Amino acid sequence: MADTNLPNAAAELAHHEAIRRARLRVAERITDLVGNTPIVRLRSFDRATPGVEIWAKCEFFNPGGSVKDRAAYQMITDAIRSGALAPGKTIIDSTSGNTGVAYSLIGGALGYPVTLVMPENVSWARKKITQAFGTKLVYSSPMEGSDGAIHLCRKMVAENPEAYFYPDQYSNASNPLAHFLGTGREIWEQTDGRVTHFVTGIGTSGTVMGTGRRLKAYRKDIHVAAIEPDDALHGLEGLKHMASSLVPGIYKPAELDEIIPMPTDEAWDVADRLARDEGLLVGHSSGGSMAGAIRLAKRLVAQGKQGVVVTLFPDRAERYFEAPVADPVAAAAR
């Protein structure tokens, strides 16, 4: 695993060269386009919070369409370097969708087969996207959510350990490392070091942990907040209600400044407003993160303070679209 100290001068030069090439859209292969995503100011929202800017990191610009490209690529390339992933092995992991798409894209690009274990009720769109890469899908009970997929995946690996490389995104240190090396550095550079607050949702927790560590390495007083659903029976796909879930091994809540419980309705309403007022058609977890950013911005205003609040949009809304259901009456009439 790479050192998590701030990079030396040579590494910084390499980072800047990578950014330059990314801006020119020059890539030797599709995986070179992971990261260096744009950040956008949300003026229709921060007009209500004078003195406090609100920005969003648009992770749907990753080649696989979500923030999970970062962690998946880091976990796979670290495993190749260490020898844990060798030719002939199949990449396997449990996922609610976005990490699965990322594994599928990266596995295809690097020449490794992929098997995914996911709850049967994940969106139709994400099932079809992963299958288009040639990925094998194994479904767990929809009643058991992401935890059921984790249990089934572990059982499959235990029964045939030589066949699989199991990254285990919930416990793999390379997951937050991807965000320490990439996401956090990019946010710092894109805001010219002005960022005061960072807020995003908890799924595996890799994004908030790794990004938060990097931002606090730059300046310890940057406030890092995590969004989690306020109830076990929530409607924010991809996010975890920790009290009722298997807690990821990489989750270190003591490193966070704040955890914000988020009602499903509030997150959905903000996601709708993002589409209507900003032209950003994002998933409901993005709506939850944005709702958290609004709360932080309003708090700063109430305290008479200025700030730069940055949130992160993991994906776009079409990942959650369902296939149309045929109308049997209309079909019979035709």
User: Domain check: are 159 and 200 in the same one?
Assistant: no
**What pLDDT score was predicted for residue 1?**
46
Give the CA diameter of the chain: 71
Taking Cα atoms as reference points, which of 146, 159, 155 lies closest to residue 237?
A: 146
Q: What is the mean pLDDT of residues 204-216?
A: 97
**What pLDDT score was predicted for residue 236?**
84
Q: Is 325 within the bounds of a domain?
A: no
285 catalytic per annotation: yes
Whether residue 328 has pLDDT greater than 60: no
User: Domain check: are 50 and 137 in the same one?
Assistant: no
Q: What is the pLDDT of residues 288-306, one digit of tens each?
A: 999 999 999 999 999 999 9
Q: What is the mean pLDDT of residues 162-168?
A: 96
Q: How far apart are CA 72 and CA 8, in angstroms?
A: 25
Catalytic choice (57, 66, 68, 104): 68
Q: Please indicate whether residue 318 or residue 135 has the higher confidence score (pLDDT).
A: 135
Catalytic choice (96, 285, 286, 289): 285
Q: Is 313 within the bounds of a domain?
A: yes
User: Domain check: are 97 and 235 in the same one?
Assistant: no
Calculated CA dihedral for residues 14, 16, 19, 20, nearest 10 degrees = -100
Contact predicate 100/130, CB 8 Å: yes
User: Domain check: are 313 and 185 in the same one?
Assistant: yes
> What is the per-residue DSSP string for 232-255?
SS---TT---GGGSPPPTT--GGG
To the nearest whole number, what is the mean pLDDT of the chain? Answer: 91
Domain boundary among 116, 132, 165: 165
User: Domain check: are 276 and 314 in the same one?
Assistant: yes
User: Domain check: are 184 and 293 in the same one?
Assistant: yes
> What is the per-residue DSSP string for 9-65?
HHHHHHHHHHHHHHHTT--SSGGGGSS---EEE-HHHHTTSTTEEEEEEEGGGSTTS
Question: Can you say whether residue 88 is alpha, beta or left, with left for phi > 0 and alpha for psi between -120 and 50 degrees?
Answer: left
Q: Is 140 within the bounds of a domain?
A: yes
pTM for this one?
Answer: 0.88
Domain boundary among 165, 196, 211: 165
Q: Please indicate whether residue 124 or residue 214 has the higher confidence score (pLDDT).
A: 214
Domain range for 158: 68-165
Q: Is 123 within the bounds of a domain?
A: yes
Flag the least confident range among 64-78, 197-211, 273-287, 315-329. Answer: 315-329
CATH code for position 266: 3.40.50.1100
In the chain, % of residues over pLDDT 90: 75
Q: Is 3 within the bounds of a domain?
A: no
**What pLDDT score was predicted for residue 123?**
79
User: Domain check: are 81 and 230 in the same one?
Assistant: no
Contact predicate 187/215, CB 8 Å: yes
Report how far apart, in Å, the C-alpha atoms of 191 and of each of 18, 188, 198, 283 are.
18, 5, 12, 24
Confidence class of residue 161 from pLDDT cuts 50, 70 and 90? very high
Q: What secondary structure letter does DSSP report for 180?
A: I
Q: How many CB atoms lie within 10 A of CB 244?
A: 13
Domain boundary among 143, 165, 187: 165
140 catalytic per annotation: no
Report phi then psi at 241, rounded to 5: -90, 105
Collapsed DSSP state (helix, strand, coil) of residue 90: strand
Taking Cα atoms as reference points, which of 177, 43, 8, 163 lies closest to residue 92?
A: 163
User: Domain check: are 154 and 104 in the same one?
Assistant: yes
User: Domain check: are 196 and 49 in the same one?
Assistant: yes
CB proximity list for 203: less than 8 A, separation 6 or greater: 96, 238, 239, 240, 285, 314
User: Domain check: are 129 and 261 in the same one?
Assistant: no
Contact predicate 229/264, CB 8 Å: yes
Q: What is the mean pLDDT of residues 8-36?
A: 82
User: Domain check: are 302 and 191 in the same one?
Assistant: yes
Domain count, the chain: 2
**What pLDDT score was predicted for residue 106?**
97
Q: Is 170 within the bounds of a domain?
A: no
**What pLDDT score was predicted for residue 331?**
46
Q: Is 90 within the bounds of a domain?
A: yes
**What pLDDT score was predicted for residue 2?**
45
User: Domain check: are 54 and 192 in the same one?
Assistant: yes
Q: Is 253 within the bounds of a domain?
A: yes
